[in-house]
C-alpha cells in the first residue's frame, strides 16, 4: 500500500543502477535530509545538539568506517578508538603548527595520516585473520594510548597528553554555536555516507564482500586479497580518522588520550553489531541506539520514581549492553538495519499479509 513498487519501470541502465531505485525511498531520503538540515535546527534545544545530535552524527561516521572494515570486508578491528585518536591528534598537530590552513584541509590531512597508520596496522591482516587480527588491532589500541601520553612532541609539549583544539573556523565563520557545529558535522557525514554507499556497490566493495564471505574462493576468482584488505583498512581508517578529528575538535573541544581508550573501541563494535553488520543505514541506527540508550537508562528510573545511584545505573547499562549484543547476535544477526528492511517488506504488502 505505502511501499508499492509496481508501475515503476526501469527503462535504462542508469535507472537500474540508481542509488535508490524506488520512488518511495527517494522521497523518504529527501524528506529525512530536509528534516535534518532545516526542521531539526528550528526546534532542537542546545542540550539536544550537544548531548545527542552531534555525538550521534560523529559516531555514525566512525561506525560507517568500522562497518566498511568489519561488516563489508570481514576484518575484525578492536582498535577503532586508537584510529580516532590518531585522527584527533593529527588534526591537532596540523592545526596548531599551520594555523592558516583551512580546517577542511586539516581534517582531510588528518584522515590521510590515519589512513597510513591504519594500513600499517592492517599489514598483519595479510598473514593472519579472524581472532588473531583482533589482537593485532588491540596492539594498535595499547600502542597509541602509550604514544600520545608519552611523546611530548605529538601533544605540543602538554602534560599527560591533554590538549585543547583551536576554535573551528572556516571561510571566516566561527563554528562556535551548536547549530553551526551541527550543520557542519551533518554536511560532512551526509557526504561521507554517500561516498561509502557508492563504494560498497562498486567493484572495490564487491571485492571486500567476496573476501569477507570466503577469502580463498575470492582469491581464485581473481580478487587480490592484498588490495582488498589493505584498501578496506585504508578507507575505513580514513573515515575513522576524520570522525576522530571531528569528535575532538567539534564535540569535545579539549581532550586527552583517555577519550579514545579501549572502551571507545568496544562501543564502536557494539554499534555496528546492534545496528547491522554490512549496512550503512545500520551504522546510523547503531550509533543512535548507543548514544540514546545511556540517556534513556538514566531517565527511566526517574520517570518511575525509583531512585538508583549512578554506580547502579552504570552497572545496569553494562548488563543491558551485554544482553543486547547476545540478543542481536542470536535473534537478528543483521541488526536494526534488518528490522527496518523487514518493516519495509511488511509495508509493501500491507494491509494484506500475503
Partner 1 sequence: MGPFIEVILGGLMAGVLYSLVALGFVLIYKASGVFNFAQGAMVLFAALAFARLSEKMPMPVAFVLAMGIMVIVAWLIERLVLRSLVNQEGIILFLATFGVTYFLEGLGQLIFGSDIYPIDLGLPKEPRIIFESTFPGGILINIEDLVAAAVAGTLVLFLALFFQKTTVGRALRAVADDHQAAQSVGIPLNRIWVIVWSVSGFVALVAGVIWGSKLGVQFSLALVALKAIPVVILGGFTSVPGAIVGGLIIGVGEKVAEVYLGPIIGGGIENWFAYGLALAFLMVRPEGLFGERHIDRV
According to CB under 8 A, which one of 2, 32, 39, 130 is a site residue for partner 1? 130
Residue 324 within binding range of partner 1, rule CB under 8 A? yes
- Judged by CB under 8 A, the chain residues 211 through 230 that form the site for partner 1 are 215-217, 220
Residue 297 within binding range of partner 1, rule CB under 8 A? no
According to CB under 8 A, which one of 10, 23, 150, 224 is a site residue for partner 1? 150
Q: How far is CA 312 from CA 270, 316, 317, in A?
A: 21, 6, 8
Binding piece for partner 1, criterion CB under 8 A, among 54-62, 129-137, 189-197, 334-342: 129-137
Nearer to partner 1, 173 or 318 (CB): 318
Binding piece for partner 1, criterion CB under 8 A, among 166-174, 184-192, 195-203, 321-329: 321-329
- Judged by CB under 8 A, the chain residues 248 through 277 that form the site for partner 1 are 262, 266, 269-270, 273
Other Cβ atoms within 10 Å of 193 Cβ, number: 19
CB of 102 to partner 1, least distance (A): 34
CB of 227 to partner 1, least distance (A): 19
CB of 98 to partner 1, least distance (A): 26
Q: How far apart are CA 274 and CA 58, in angstroms?
A: 17
- Hey, what's the cell of 234? 585504508
Binding piece for partner 1, criterion CB under 8 A, among 26-34, 92-100, 122-130, 247-255: 122-130
Q: How far is CA 55 from CA 39, 50, 66, 232, 307, in A?
A: 19, 7, 16, 24, 27
Using CB under 8 A as the binding criterion, the count of chain residues that bind partner 1 stands at 47
User: What residues contact 211, with CB distance under 8 A and at least 6 apart?
Assistant: 73, 74, 218, 223, 225, 228, 229, 232
CB of 23 to partner 1, least distance (A): 36
**φ, ψ (nearest 5 deg) of residue 164:** -120, 135
According to CB under 8 A, which one of 48, 112, 116, 138 is a site residue for partner 1? 138
Binding footprint of partner 1 on the chain (CB under 8 A): 74, 76, 124, 127-128, 130-132, 134-136, 138-139, 142-143, 145-146, 149-151, 215-217, 220, 262, 266, 269-270, 273, 311-312, 315-327, 329-330, 333
Amino acid at each position: 500500500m505505502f511501499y508499492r513498487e509496481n508501475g515503476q519501470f526501469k527503462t535504462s541502465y542508469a535507472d537500474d543502477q540508481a542509488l535508490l531505485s524506488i520512488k518511495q525511498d527517494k522521497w523518504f531520503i529527501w524528506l529525512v535530509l530536509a528534516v535534518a538540515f532545516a526542521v531539526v535546527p528550528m526546534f532542537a534545544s542546545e542540550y539536544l545538539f550537544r548531548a545527542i545530535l552531534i555525538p550521534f552524527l560523529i559516531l555514525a561516521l566512525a561506525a560507517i568506517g568500522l562497518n566498511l572494515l568489519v561488516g563489508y570486508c570481514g576484518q575484525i578491528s578492536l582498535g577503532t578508538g586508537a584510529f580516532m585518536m590518531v585522527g584527533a591528534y593529527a588534526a591537532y598537530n596540523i592545526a596548531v603548527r599551520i594555523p592558516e590552513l583551512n580546517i577542511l584541509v586539516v581534517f582531510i590531512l588528518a584522515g590521510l595520516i590515519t589512513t597510513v597508520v591504519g594500513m600499517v596496522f592492517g599489514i598483519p591482516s595479510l598473514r593472519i585473520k579472524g581472532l588473531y587480527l583482533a589482537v593485532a588491532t588491540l596492539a594498535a589500541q595499547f600502542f597509541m594510548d602509550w604514544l600520545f601520553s608519552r611523546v611530548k612532541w605529538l601533544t605540543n609539549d602538554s602534560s599527560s597528553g591533554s590538549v585543547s583544539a583551536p576554535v573551528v573556523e572556516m571561510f571566516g565563520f566561527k563554528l562556535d554555536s551548536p547549530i553551526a557545529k551541527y550543520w557542519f558535522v551533518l554536511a560532512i557525514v551526509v557526504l561521507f555516507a554517500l561516498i561509502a554507499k557508492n563504494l560498497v556497490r562498486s567493484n572495490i566493495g564487491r571485492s571486500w564482500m567476496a573476501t569477507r564471505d570466503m577469502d580463498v574462493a575470492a582469491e581464485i576468482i581473481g580478487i587480490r586479497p592484498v588490495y582488498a584488505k589493505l584498501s578496506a583498512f585504508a578507507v575505513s581508517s580514513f573515515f575513522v580518522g576524520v570522525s576522530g578529528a571531528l569528535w575532538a575538535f567539534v564535540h569535545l573541544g579539549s581532550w586527552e588520550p583517555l577519550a579514545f581508550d579501549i572502551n571507545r573501541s568496544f562501543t564502536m563494535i557494539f554499534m555496528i553489531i546492534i545496528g547491522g553488520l554490512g549496512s550503512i543505514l545500520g551504522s546510523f541506527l547503531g550509533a543512535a541506539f548507543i548514544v540514546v540508550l545511556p540517556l534513556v537508562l538514566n531517565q527511566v528510573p526517574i520517570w518511575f520514581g525509583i531512585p538508583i545511584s549512578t554506580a547502579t545505573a552504570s552497572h545496569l547499562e553494562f548488563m543491558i549492553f551485554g544482553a543486547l549484543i547476545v540478543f542481536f547476535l542470536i535473534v537478528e544477526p543483521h541488526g536494526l538495519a534488518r528490522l527496518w528492511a523487514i518493516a519495509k517488506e511488511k509495508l509493501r504488502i500491507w494491509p494484506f499479509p500475503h
